[in-house]
Structure 1
């Protein structure tokens, strides 16, 4: 089920794509800044931060795939529509909050 404009409380595919592109651009800028800033490979905190940014980029790319497949905005755990408020905050959210808590 893809986001559309016919159902209240749903994010359109264009809105979702725009939010995902902004998130991706932000994360890529973070990685570029890290490379230019010369993050030390042996600084554990910086290495972990860099790995986290890369993981988020993978989540963003997965969200783009869900958008193309038509499953964006639908929780795979319970089948419920992920609230638009959650997707506005975390556009690459994979699942609803209750299912995310159960998975953690």
Structure 2
């Protein structure tokens, strides 16, 4: 595979990932809108609060991945600047760190 073909394949993969993450962002935004609507059931307040927090965190992670795709830093560890393995990004497309740096981050 030539370098140009390889770059096109990488760009196509990033474009597909961007589209997928953008759709996921829309879904989570709609879910957050539903969750923040008043249900009138005080017994569900704790559960609803936890779901809202989890949805907001997902939105932040997706937005961060979309920003990194846009600025060209997607796939680079924010700590060591090394490459994040494609396998990790396949599982966690919003990953900001390689595994060793994530372990250090978690302490």
Q: Which runs of 5+ in 1 are unaligned?
A: none
What is the alpha-carbon distance in structure 2 between the residues aligned to residue 16 and residue 60 of structure 1? 11
What is the alpha-carbon distance in structure 2 between the residues aligned to residue 81 and residue 26 of structure 1? 29
RMSD of aligned Cα (Å): 3.1
Using the size of structure 2 for normalisation, the TM-score is: 0.71
What is the alpha-carbon distance in structure 1 between the residues aligned to residue 53 and residue 11 of structure 2? 32
Using the size of structure 1 for normalisation, the TM-score is: 0.72
Aligned pair in 2 of structure 1 residues 84, 37: CA closer, same or farther (>3 Å)? farther
The structure with more radius of gyration: 2
Of the three residues 74, 87, 104, the one matched with 1:72 is 74
- The total of aligned residue pairs comes to 101
Q: Which runs of 5+ in 2 are unaligned?
A: none
> After alignment, is 48-57 or 25-34 more displaced?
25-34
Runs of 4 or more consecutive aligned structure 1 residues displaced over 6 Å after TM superposition:
7-11
